[in-house]
Structure 1
Amino acid sequence: MTDTTPAPGGFDEAEMRRVLDRGCSIVGLNTADARLLRGHTNAVVHLNAENVVVKIARKGSPIDHVTRTVRFVRWLTEAGFPTAPLHPVDQPVVVDQHAITFWTYLPQPNHPVAAAQLAKPLYALHTLPTPPIDLPAHDNIAAIHRSLTAITCLPDQEILFLTELTDRLKSDLSEVEFALPHGVIQGDPQHRNALHAGAGETLLCDWDTAAIGQPEWDLVTVEVHCRRFGHGQAHYAAFADAYGWDVTRWSGYRTLTAIRELRMITTNARKVHHNPNSLNEVRQRVEGLHRQEWQSRWNIL
């Protein structure tokens, strides 16, 4: 593996394959046709013959966090919520302190889930009762600070700029008056964290960021993805109409958007050593912060 090759989930390819083979052996799955689907955060692998997706949590992820996610998804399933289904095995499986989960594979068409299709399941999530799982409190500011302490790809003056910006936004956040009821949120709802399920149904997936917090954070995240990644205003407007509330018309929109975008930038900057090809995109996004660009296009990472 060269120094510009992304490390899936923080693993080199041989290590990932070793963990995959051992984990799948424990639950009786064959890995002969394993194919990496995604690796920027977790290592996500498709076993075609088994009709299973295997997710190896990012290297260093606490096992109890993955266990909590499994418990939460099982609770969602029992409640009839439209979530990606777990494969029916005892999980997570732990190999050398790396947590592995298994999911039923759902074939997908070429087109991603549209923003409007996220609205119904997201609204259903936001109106669920409090789950009997100790979900963390959603805290973007704390997540940004954690990333800032781990970034090695940016010069000190840029880290100082980002830290000072974080502190200003934290002060602004203290003045925000939220409009929606506190409850369960997905934490990162977007086109890639949802699946087509046939008959027009949409399933939410990737529950690592599920938390207790303000739904406005989820709604801002959808808007950011529509605006920054080229989906367009009409795409977001269709989502807002379907959800029944437009976060861009709310007084706290600009503050939450700035914080959410800063978290996306700092998270990707922290992961650059696992994916060196992303460095140029991170630098461009930071330059955009200096220029206070609001509409510039980002490339998906």
Structure 2
Amino acid sequence: MSDADIAQIAQKACAAAGIAAPHLVPIKVAENGIYRLPEHQLVVRVARAGQSAAARRELEVAGWLQDNAVAAVRPAGTGSDLVVIDERPVTFWRELGPHRPGTEREIATALRALHSLPAPGFLNEVKPFVRLTERIDAAATISPDDRQWLRDRLSELHAEWAGLDPGRPWGPIHGDAWEGNVVTTVDLGVTTFLDLERASIGPPEWDLTSTAIKHSSFGWISTSRYEAFWREYGYDVTTWSGFSLLRGIRELRMTCMAAQAAGSNPAHTAQAQHRVDCLRGRVGPRPWSGWEPIP
């Protein structure tokens, strides 16, 4: 589906929600579409087809966090915050306003608050391997040998997950807690969770690993910055016996995402191949350099 098609779905959803002649300002358009409505101070999110239940749960998570005094993006409150157009769910959110990526300490503080909450009944168990097979299959720029290696690595991690060593008690987790999804507002300095799509019940270590690999896998942050993170949270996930498994899953997810992106945009081909080469041991041990964001 083209960017224009996704924008048209957003336009139709706005009309269904009673928002006339909206001015859509793209924030990010890829598999999903995210747009600002500046005149209404709203954000419109167009999700993938068949994801209505997940979209509904995301709105429910936002309300639950608000009720428990954990800052998160808030539903628009329009009375039609979920509209389905051509099988694609569209949700409406209040615009957060100026914000910056959360620091390591801020992310740790926010995660500690989230992880301390009792688990609500509506959250499902975390699915660490969701859509990885499809992404490998869509990796048209990767050689057959590399694709088979990715499939084998996925099977290996699946088996290890089934025997994951016990760690901290499972409970509510964000599911994708990197600094783009845990941000701090400029005006009030409130650290806020965005993108609640992967909120679930799981090991808190899953959220902590997102920051840990920034240091151990890629060298994006210094030892002192990582230490500030785990000291603020109160636990260093890299000391846990299950860390290497969660690290491996995260690295594979990031690689498969890049490989799928390269299949539709040749500009990402080199990055996707570099990530595969890192996982296959072709460029030396961690931390690996050269991992660049995929827009």
Report sequence identity in percent.
26
Distance 1:112 1:94, change over 3 A: same
Superposition map of 1:251-262 within 5 A: 251-262=241-252
Distance 1:196 1:26, change over 3 A: same
* 1:41 Cα offset (Å): 4.3
Distance in 2 separating the partners of 1:81 and 1:155: 45
Distance in 2 separating the partners of 1:196 and 1:234: 21
Query: Which letter does structure 2 place at the counterpart of 1:129?
Result: P
Q: Decide whether the 8 Å contact of 1:229 with 1:300 is kept in 2.
A: no
Q: Decide whether the 8 Å contact of 1:43 with 1:57 is kept in 2.
A: yes
Distance in 2 separating the partners of 1:91 and 1:98: 14
Distance in 1 separating the partners of 2:102 and 2:149: 36
Q: Which of these residues, 114, 121, 127, is aligned with residue 139 of structure 1?
A: 127
Distance in 2 separating the partners of 1:210 and 1:274: 28
Other-structure match for 2:178:
190
Query: Which letter does structure 1 place at the counterpart of 2:286?
Result: W
Match status 1:49 vs 2:33: no
Distance 1:18 1:167, change over 3 A: closer
Deviations 1:57-84 (A, max 9, x none): 13x3422221122122222222222111
Distance in 1 separating the partners of 2:11 and 2:156: 47
Other-structure match for 1:3:
none
Q: Decide whether the 8 Å contact of 2:72 with 2:193 is kept in 1.
A: yes
Listed as ranges, the gaps of 5+ residues in structure 2 are none
TM value normalised by structure 1: 0.87
Listed as ranges, the gaps of 5+ residues in structure 1 are 1-10
Larger displacement relative to structure 2 (124-133 or 267-276)? 267-276
The answer to which structure, 1 or 2, has the higher relative contact order (CA under 8 A, 6+ apart) is 1
Other-structure match for 2:208:
219
- SS of 2:44's partner is strand
Match status 1:295 vs 2:272: no
Distance 1:72 1:280, change over 3 A: same
Other-structure match for 2:63:
74
* 1:274 Cα offset (Å): 4.4
Distance 1:28 1:155, change over 3 A: same
Superposition map of 1:20-169 within 5 A: 20-30=10-20, 32-58=22-48, 60-89=49-78, 90-109=80-99, 111-133=100-122, 135-141=123-129, 143-169=131-157
* 1:146 Cα offset (Å): 4.3
Q: Decide whether the 8 Å contact of 1:53 with 1:105 is kept in 2.
A: yes
Distance in 1 separating the partners of 2:219 and 2:31: 19
- SS of 2:224's partner is helix
Distance in 2 separating the partners of 1:21 and 1:208: 22
Other-structure match for 1:233:
223
Distance 1:115 1:31, change over 3 A: farther
Q: How many residues align?
A: 288
Distance 1:226 1:102, change over 3 A: farther
* 1:87 Cα offset (Å): 0.7
Query: Which letter does structure 2 place at the counterpart of 1:195?
Result: V
Distance in 1 separating the partners of 2:228 and 2:30: 29
Distance 1:39 1:49, change over 3 A: same
Deviations 1:219-238 (A, max 9, x none): 11122245537233332221
Q: Decide whether the 8 Å contact of 2:209 with 2:247 is kept in 1.
A: yes
